[in-house]
Structure 1
Amino acid sequence: MNFLNLIRWKNLLIIAFTQLLIKYAFLASFGINTALNELGIVILILATVCIAAAGNIINDIYDVETDLVNKPNKVIVGKSISEKNAFNLFIALNIIGVGLGYYLSYLVGKSAFFSIFIIISVLLYTYASYLKQTPLIGNIVISILVGLSILIVGIFELLPNITPQNQQLQLVYFKVILNYAFFAFIINLIREIAKDIEDIDGDYKAGMNTLPIAIGRERASNILFALSLMAVIAVIYYVVYKIYQNQIAVIYFLIAVIAPLIYISIKTFNAKTKKQFHHISNMLKFVMLLGILSLLLYMYA
């Protein structure tokens, strides 16, 4: 169980579930010409999950000092699992993930796609060891990687099968996946800033220089509030200009995404305590899941 908690198994399940939804709820619903068969999507999921798990492990290794202050009861590295064993798991999972990524790139005939897995692995290590300590840059990088875990399905499913005849249609579906990737990016960026404000005490003690430490808790809270409003506006724009003809989708987004985002904005405006920012962080994770679940609507479009 300690190993499962170390790799953040719940988050990994969400990644796998999201990629399956894109494949079978979205792409399969329209009979789109895709590159991956059942084995291919399984390999993609395993490669993504392994590299993500490795990223979670290296993040915990570098976060031991801050976690001892912010969440002492949840520290695993150095207690339940030694740092040496955790690092060995990090190496092993990276090798498996990157190896699977190489094989998958070979299967679809796009060897250059292999570089995506290398870049993700390197960025996760760089984030944990250095970028996380820099104001906002680390938040942006990890949020891009979250969005990429969605976009990578479109890259491997659609791009290898583009022809002059189907190019326009393939790109239309790719843009839909890109919209979901951007949604995941912006929601995760807001959540990362909320978590930094929540963990400011432990981060300060560890000598980190996160956004709230660099500019102050109040200014960081103002940025958090502004970003939450931007998220509301972005989703409203998407509903009005992209899916307005689908009444069920409009109702779903109003209830499951826009309303919770407005609630989060209100809570962010008034948030002061660690507990309040923790609640905001959890709500943002819930909204991201609800947004991803909207992919199921394409099965009934």
Structure 2
Amino acid sequence: MTNETKPASRNALYRVSQLMGFLLGARFFVAVLLTFALYVSTFFLFNREESFRNFVFDYKVHFIIICSVLSILAGGIINRFYDKEKDQLVKPFRSRLQNFLKEKYFLTAYVILNALSLGLAFFVSHRVFIFFLIYQFLMWFYSHKLSKIIVLNNFTFVALTLYPFFGMLIYYQTFSLKILFLAIFLFLMLFIIDVTKDTLTRNADKMFGYETIANRLGFQNTRSILLILLIITLIVSLILSIGIGFKNIIAWYFLLTTIVILGTVYMLFRNQKNDKFKSLNLLRLWIFFGILAMLLDGIYHKYPWLI
């Protein structure tokens, strides 16, 4: 390799590192997953009457989802800004990548993403504008204050994760007992994931002033709370599987959820090395499988000739 190509290759690597640092800082990959989940749930759960053609050409739906994604990306950036010191301890590799970009670039991106989201929202309607203005304020307030308040941090995190789905529910005005139980199930799963995550970062949270259930009550008491939540989730999943009916793919997903929950309980109480990390990733992966199950179930009922 010549002397001229070495600086060029280093510069390319530096640019790639900057890009990866920004994507991780904005939680781009989480936003991609939430976008996929929003489209699947919107078309196959909230949108019962509209045809696929009408759905594709309904610009308001796409604008609302784009506004959600832009707000989520901005929320990831502001959360990273307030959690920077803690992340250097618990996420050293990610923090190293993010250091390739100056702080002003992250903050500029935060302002631009929020402005684009609000601009698109205003184009749809003033109500959508207010909806996302509240969403962006709550994400900032969560990162600034609420993330350090015990229990409230977990509730707020889960509520903000579900906020865009609530928006689509209001847009289509699709309220039913099934959707209520689905919302309870997803809320419980996300709450359990967030509390389990806090058990992994307990020492760092205590060091930087984050009051969590894990560092206030200790692991034993937190594990008991998680057990209660997992039992409630198991009951809700059984109610959903029976209520939906086993002719539906999604019903089998909820039935299999009981096995996943029992496996999570086993790992939490076995408490061997990496068990908490394994149970956390198992629950995260299972939510992703739930999105796929909803997609397959929706295709099976709306377009059975595709399967």
Give TM class, smaller chain. Answer: 0.7 to 0.9
- Number of residues paired by the alignment? 280
2:258 matched to 1:258?
A: yes
Contact 1:150 1:180 in 2 (8 A): no
**Paired residues for 1:48-197 under 5 Å:** 48-75=68-95, 79-104=99-124, 106=125, 111-156=126-171, 158-159=172-173, 170-172=174-176, 176-197=178-199
Asked whether the 8 Å contact 1:16–1:45 carries over to 2, the reply is yes
Aligned pair in 2 of structure 1 residues 247, 295: CA closer, same or farther (>3 Å)?
A: closer
Tell whether the 8 Å contact from 1:60 to 1:77 is kept in structure 2 after alignment: no
Measured in 2, the distance between the counterparts of 1:182 and 1:211 equals: 21
Q: 1:252 to 1:203 in 2, by over 3 A?
A: closer
Q: Distance in 2 between matches of 1:211 and 1:68?
A: 22
1:285 is aligned to 284
| CA separation of 1:239 and 1:78: change in aligned 2, threshold 3 A | closer
Letter matched to residue 164 of structure 2: S
Shift of 1:150: 1.9
CA pair 287-235 structure 1, distance change in 2 beyond 3 A: same
Offset, 1:246: 2.5
TM-score by length of structure 1 reads 0.84
Residue 220 of structure 1, aligned match among 203, 222, 236: 222
1:27 Cα offset (Å): 5.1
d(CA) in 1 for partners of 2:208, 2:119: 35
Deviations 1:220-274 (A, max 9, x none): 122122212211111111112x21253544333323x33222211222233365x
Residue 117 of structure 2 aligns to a residue whose secondary structure is helix
User: Which of these residues, 28, 31, 34, is aligned with residue 12 of structure 1?
Assistant: 31
C-alpha distance after superposition, 1:22-78 (max 9, x if no partner): 233345665479898442222112100111111111111111111122121221586
- Counterpart of 1:300? 300
Show structure 1 runs of 4+ deviating over 6 A. Answer: 32-36
Residue in structure 1 matched with residue 241 of structure 2 by the alignment: 239
Between the aligned partners of 2:147 and 2:272, the Cα distance in structure 1 is: 23
Assess if the C-alpha contact under 8 Å between 2:234 and 2:261 holds in 1: yes
Structure 2 unpaired stretches of 5+: 1-19, 302-307
Amino acid at match of 1:246: K
Is the 8 Å Cα contact of residues 205 and 211 (structure 2) preserved in structure 1? yes
Contact 1:127 1:138 in 2 (8 A): yes
Tell me the secondary structure at the aligned position of residue 244 of structure 2.
coil
**Alpha-carbon distance between aligned partners in 2 of 1:27 and 1:213, rounded to the nearest angstrom:** 39
Separation in 2, partners of 1:27, 1:204: 41
Gaps of 5+ in 1: 160-169
State whether residues 26 and 74 of structure 2, in contact with CA within 8 Å, keep that contact through their aligned partners in structure 1.
Answer: yes
**Pair 1:45-2:44 in alignment:** no
C-alpha contact 2:82 2:143 (8 A) present in aligned 1:
yes
Percent pairwise identity:
22
Q: Give the TM-score normalised by the residue count of structure 2.
A: 0.82
Q: Bigger radius of gyration, 1 or 2?
A: 2
Q: Per the alignment, do residues 76 and 268 of structure 1 end up closer, same or farther by CA in structure 2, a change over 3 Å counting?
A: same
Give the whole-Å Cα distance in 1 for the aligned partners of 2:116 and 2:78: 16
Q: CA RMSD in A?
A: 2.5
* Residue identity matched to 2:263: Y
> CA, structure 1 residues 79+178, in 2 after alignment: closer, same or farther (shift >3 Å)?
same
